[in-house]
Amino acid sequence: MKKTNLSLPSHLETINKDDKYKIILAEQELIQWIEKLKAKKIFSIYTKTNHSNYMLANLIGISFAIEEKIAMYIPFAHDYQDAPKQLNYKWVLSKLKPLLEDPTRSKVGYNLKYDLHILARYGIQLRGIQHDIMIASHILNSTSRKNDIVSLAVDFLEHQCQCISLEKIARKGKQQFKFNQITLEETLPYSAKYADIILQLHNKIFKKIEHDSELKLIYKNIEIPLIFILFKMERTGVLIDDALLNLHSYKISNRLQELEFKIYKITNNRFNINSTKQLQTILFESMNFPIIKKTPSGKPSTSEEVLQELALYYPLPKLILEYRNLTKLKSNYIEKLPKMINMNTGRIHTSYHQVMTTTGRLSSSDPNLQNIPIRNKLGRRIRKAFIAKDNYKILSVDYSQIELRIMAHLSGDKNLLNAFQQGKDIHIATAAEILSVNAKKISNEQRYRAKAINFGLIYGISAFGLAKQLNISQYEAQQYINRYFKRYSGIFLYMENLRKIAYKQGFVETLFKRRIYLPEIKSKNKIRQKAAERSAINAPIQGTAADIIKKAMLLVSEWIEFKANDNVELLMQVHDELVFEVHKSILETAKNKIQKLMESAAKLNIPLLTKAKYGDDWDQAH
DNA sequence: TACATCACG
DNA sequence: ACGTACGTGATGTAC
Ligand SMILES: [Mg+2]
């Protein structure tokens, strides 16, 4: 943008010629290219930015490909010394805007949710998102960890030399995010190339998805439309009461000082309580506490489970537990969340990831809003900091026992289906069955144990795990499991069959036929093979729940768009829960409608039920 | 960067 | 005879 070199350096011309890549520096060239883009059924798009945070990133340039090997790059913000004069970005974007916003012009990209954010910063609403190769490759194999563009190019395209150069560039990109300092000579071969590769990859990957009509439905009808929904959720963000968090911060700091003082008094030693290594020395050498459990690397564990047990005999572990609890909440939430508030919006903007889990669940990061505390008192106080804007309230709607219902549906077990059909308290019903006792006589402890069994089943139950969870003997746990499978024989058969299927075909499926590959199912290592068997049991259940809530998000978003715009915003998804910001004038309407929509997201052999509540904050909404 | 720990569903 | 609960992300420490 500084220099006035109108003509391209000769060595750049050479690159252009070889790869048919074009660098756009003149207005007329862009006009011509826009016509080329319009002439294509689909084109690929790739945005280059100066930041990984979507709320802060600015465009450095943008590239497009229309056919294999035919791609171009429009730089606007390369400002290294002697950079050639580049087109004015406002002018470029004004020319591209109609094309980018036209829903009838199909686009393919890599992680287009990011491009949506970037373009939104420039007042452009990207429409016509037809394909996303990041998501497509995850649909094909959710177990693979290599979903980045370079790895996909290595897997799907057989251009070895191309890939090597790309890897080099990628490494450079990781080290430094100063793309504006990269010269055009360096950038052209890969900025345009990324667009080229995205288009080439799309042709390969989508062909594989098309082969399977059910995979195609998940991809086309769930995942692709979900991109825009997640984009909106991220961009909307959630309002945080940082004054409340700061107040807790102050109180907790005081309590932590007290705890430190008490701990040092007992141990007669000032040490870093956060250091597991130092704590190990104190507990198991100085204090001579018995070693209850070892970590995978063979060192004595100081985990909560161990400290709980030691706390039965000594006063110190209880102090450590409280210290741990407080420091965790302090650093992860109370101190972290206020720092994450965006200066412009005053809200927190998480990132939802569509391709980070094997089962099809979403994940959330920066910050993670799917692990906000709720299980203890202080945790719920943190949750109180999630609030609604003036005249709005927080509405939370979550599925009731969705995973157990799915297990009943998938297995077809008569007994479990019946229990749900009759609207019974499922844990009481389980306890009554296992113990052969009338449901009215089930105690709290018996219900609690049955609940642990029900959870265990979803995790691919083992006597060891259940015994540990309930603090009972392995023998006793095995008795429970045996009695459960006797009463719910359909569940037993379902799980046996799932192990067989997983072994035979190497993958399992959700209700909607999303695939989860289990490469370890044939491992010679028995530990790994057993772990894969448990995943084989868990994945269809967890994955079906993920599919269902994604469908629900689409249904609800459609209703919001056409019937409740400006009055309802979808803010968060926490696996079986959707959280909304709702105008006070339509709280009851929204609550009822959203429950109906969520409950209709899938037709199972038993009803799908939700619980809903609203309040001033996320805690009140529970 | 690996490990241990712990927040959530 | 093995040594295990399923799926995530973030933190602080130690190497
Ligand atoms: Mg629930």
Instruction: Summarize pLDDT for A543-568 with one digit per residue, the tens.
Output: 999 999 999 999 999 999 999 999 99
Distance C3 C1' – A425 CA (angstroms): 34
CA of A541 to the centre of ligand 1 (A): 14
> Between the CA atoms of A479, A484, A487 and A493, what dihedral angle is there, to the nearest 10 degrees?
-110
Whether residues A335 and A392 share a domain: the answer is no
CA of A323 to the centre of ligand 1 (A): 29
Whether residues A162 and A14 share a domain: the answer is yes
Could you tell me if residue A76 is inside a domain? yes
Which CATH number covers residue A37? 3.30.420.10
Q: Measure the CA–CA gap between A455 and A374, rounded to whole angstroms.
A: 19
Which CATH number covers residue A339? 1.20.1060.10
pLDDT in the model for residue A78: 84
Whether residues A264 and A116 share a domain: the answer is no
pLDDT in the model for residue A168: 54
Whether residues A257 and A332 share a domain: the answer is yes
Name the token pair of A515: 């695939």
**Per-residue pLDDT tens for A334-350?**
999 999 999 999 999 99
Nucleotides of B under 7 A from a protein CB: 3-9
Whether residues A319 and A465 share a domain: the answer is no
Tell me the percentage of chain A whose pLDDT exceeds 70.
Answer: 92
The more confidently predicted of residues A420 and A16 is A420
Which CATH number covers residue A427? 1.10.150.20
Does residue A161 carry a pLDDT above 70?
no
Quickly state the pLDDT bin for A140 (edges 50, 70, 90).
very high
The more confidently predicted of residues A183 and A7 is A183
Q: Measure the CA–CA gap between A222 and A516, rounded to whole angstroms.
A: 17
Query: Which of A523, A540, A557 is a domain's end point?
Result: A540
Residue A34 burial (CB < 10 Å; 0-12/13-18/19+)? Answer: middle
Do A137 and A144 touch, CB atoms closer than 8 A?
Answer: yes
Nucleotide closest in space to A575 (CA vs C1'): B9
Whether residues A16 and A114 share a domain: the answer is yes
Whether residues A96 and A124 share a domain: the answer is yes
Q: Say which DSSP state A520 is in.
A: G
Does residue A20 carry a pLDDT above 90?
no
Q: Measure the CA–CA gap between A415 and A334, rounded to whole angstroms.
A: 46
Does residue A169 carry a pLDDT above 70?
no
Do A318 and A236 touch, CB atoms closer than 8 A?
Answer: no
Could you tell me if residue A103 is inside a domain? yes
Q: Measure the CA–CA gap between A101 and A110, rounded to whole angstroms.
A: 18
Whether residues A300 and A254 share a domain: the answer is yes
Residue A183 burial (CB < 10 Å; 0-12/13-18/19+)? Answer: middle
Give the residue numbers spanning the domain of A563.
363-401+546-615
Nucleotides of C under 7 A from a protein CB: 1-15
Could you tell me if residue A408 is inside a domain? yes
Measuring CA to CA, which residue among A6, A67, A106 is closest to residue A192?
A: A67
Could you tell me if residue A233 is inside a domain? no
pLDDT in the model for residue A307: 98
**Per-residue pLDDT tens for A486-544?**
999 999 999 999 999 999 999 999 999 999 999 999 999 999 999 999 999 999 999 99
Q: What is the pTM of this model?
A: 0.95
CA of A549 to the centre of ligand 1 (A): 12
Specify the amino acid at residue A70: I
Measuring CA to CA, which residue among A161, A170, A214 is closest to residue A191?
A: A170
Does residue A606 carry a pLDDT above 80?
yes
Does residue A182 carry a pLDDT above 90?
no
Whether residues A99 and A202 share a domain: the answer is yes
Q: Measure the CA–CA gap between A351 and A367, rounded to whole angstroms.
A: 7
Quickly state the pLDDT bin for A6 (edges 50, 70, 90).
very low
**Per-residue pLDDT tens for A50-84?**
899 999 999 999 999 999 999 999 998 888 888 88
Tokens 């991809």 belong to which residue? A219
Could you tell me if residue A595 is inside a domain? yes
**Per-residue pLDDT tens for A293-350?**
999 999 999 999 999 999 999 999 999 999 999 999 999 999 999 999 999 999 999 9
- Closest residue to B5 by CA to C1' distance? A303
Distance C1 C1' – A401 CA (angstroms): 37
Concatenate the DSSP letters of all residues of A300-346 into one string: BP--HHHHHHHTTT-SHHHHHHHHHHHHHHIIIIITHHHHTB-TTTS
Q: Measure the CA–CA gap between A470 and A463, rounded to whole angstroms.
A: 10
Distance C15 C1' – A255 CA (angstroms): 32
Is A350 near strand C, with its CB below 7 A from some atom of it?
no
Does residue A173 carry a pLDDT above 60?
no
Measuring CA to CA, which residue among A444, A608, A484, A457 is closest to residue A542?
A: A457
Is A456 near strand C, with its CB below 7 A from some atom of it?
yes
Is A309 near strand B, with its CB below 7 A from some atom of it?
no
Quickly state the pLDDT bin for A7 (edges 50, 70, 90).
very low
Could you tell me if residue A235 is inside a domain? no
Whether residues A395 and A407 share a domain: the answer is no
Distance B7 C1' – A380 CA (angstroms): 12
Query: Which of A540, A563, A597 is a domain's end point?
Result: A540
CA of A402 to the centre of ligand 1 (A): 7
- Taking the CA atoms of chain A, what radius of gyration do you get in angstroms? 28
pLDDT in the model for residue A17: 47
Measuring CA to CA, which residue among A108, A270, A73 is closest to residue A183?
A: A73
Concatenate the DSSP letters of all residues of A40-62 into one string: SSEEEEEEEES-SSTTT--EEEE
Q: Measure the CA–CA gap between A114 and A51, rounded to whole angstroms.
A: 11
Is A271 near strand C, with its CB below 7 A from some atom of it?
no
**Per-residue pLDDT tens for A214-259?**
999 999 999 999 999 999 999 999 999 999 999 999 999 999 999 9
CA of A610 to the centre of ligand 1 (A): 8
Does residue A14 carry a pLDDT above 50?
no
Distance B3 C1' – A302 CA (angstroms): 13
Name the token pair of A426: 């499922």
End-to-end CA distance of chain A: give it in Å, rounded. 54
Q: Measure the CA–CA gap between A200 and A71, rounded to whole angstroms.
A: 11
Is A325 near strand C, with its CB below 7 A from some atom of it?
no
CA of A90 to the centre of ligand 1 (A): 48
Is A336 near strand C, with its CB below 7 A from some atom of it?
yes
Does residue A10 carry a pLDDT above 50?
no
Q: What average pLDDT does chain A have?
A: 93
Domain count, chain A: 4
CA of A497 to the centre of ligand 1 (A): 28
- Closest residue to C3 by CA to C1' distance? A527
pLDDT in the model for residue A507: 98
Distance B4 C1' – A294 CA (angstroms): 11
**Per-residue pLDDT tens for A393-439?**
999 999 999 999 999 999 999 999 999 999 999 999 999 999 999 99
Q: Measure the CA–CA gap between A506 and A522, rounded to whole angstroms.
A: 8
Distance C6 C1' – A17 CA (angstroms): 53
Report which of residues 541-570 in chain A place their beta carbon less than 7 angstroms from any atom of strand C. 542
Could you tell me if residue A222 is inside a domain? no
Distance C3 C1' – A296 CA (angstroms): 11
pLDDT in the model for residue A93: 98
Query: Which residues, in sequence order, are CB contacts of A511 under 8 Å at separation 6+?
Result: A406, A409, A410, A540, A544, A547, A548, A602
Query: Which of A540, A564, A590 is a domain's end point?
Result: A540
Name the token pair of A440: 């009215």
Whether residues A420 and A534 share a domain: the answer is yes
Do A534 and A564 touch, CB atoms closer than 8 A?
Answer: no
pLDDT in the model for residue A569: 98
Lowest mean pLDDT among A3-12, A176-185, A279-288: A3-12
Could you tell me if residue A162 is inside a domain? yes
Nucleotide closest in space to A361 (CA vs C1'): C7
Q: Measure the CA–CA gap between A30 and A217, rounded to whole angstroms.
A: 36
Whether residues A49 and A163 share a domain: the answer is yes
